[in-house]
Chain A
């Protein structure tokens, strides 16, 4: 089946530093990828839609200058948390439609746990 990977699986950083998270579709091309954030014991909240070759679309309330998204190829999207603060600590999950259509199954990466000290 389709596989989406994320790297790193966990990261601990100091407040004020920037952290980059990679999301890769391993056996299919994804023109669109999605980034979610999940706080403990809560549901996934869509942060942004990452579009290959164009700017990401951010959800209301998500700071685009803080959460930089780059989708430079059909198999890779990156999320950079800039000047991270403890409140940015969360579980970040990416996903992609294998068929590129909204009606196709969406496959999720294993997530990246970010802890900001």
Chain B
């Protein structure tokens, strides 16, 4: 079963704009990860944030985690057309990883 819910389900922006995707989950977690998936392809790991961390950065990516609200956000700054993909959050509880429904991001050139 899925653990996380993501919003929006779909997001369309212009190149250069920032994109923010949110993920909410229901139970306590060990960590939360964000992945990217191009259409019909495998998953690419973006960032892992542990339950005791609140924010992490990686290049143009910024992830926040609010365990009190059981939510996380992924911010992509200065988006590029190549960022067009589906983005999934995944929570890890013990040894299980569960995925959110994903956000389909389209960046228009």
Contact = CB atoms under 8 A, between A and B. Distances in A.
Interface residues of A, number: 26
B30 interface: yes
B108 interface: no
Given A43-B2, A43-B88, A102 B95 contact: yes
Given A32-B95, A44-B88, A105-B33, A111 B100 contact: no
Interface string A36-77: 100001111110010000000001100000000000000000
Given A107-B45, A108-B43, A113-B40, A102 B92 contact: yes
Q: On chain B, which size bracket covers the interface?
A: 20 to 34
Interface in B31-90: 31, 33, 35, 40-45, 48, 50, 88, 90
Contacts, number: 63
A78 to B, nearest CB: 18
Tell me if B's interface is mostly helix, strand, loop or mixed.
strand
A111 B99 contact: no
Given A43-B2, A43-B100, A49-B96, A106 B42 contact: no
B40 A91 contact: yes
A36 B101 CA distance: 14
B101 A110 contact: no
A105 B100 CA distance: 17
A60 B101 CA distance: 19
Given A102-B30, A102-B92, A105-B33, A93 B45 contact: no
B94 interface: yes
Nearest to A113: B40
Contact of A46 (B30, B45, B48, B96): B96
B32 to A, nearest CB: 11
A43 B95 contact: no
B45 A43 contact: no
A109 to B, nearest CB: 6
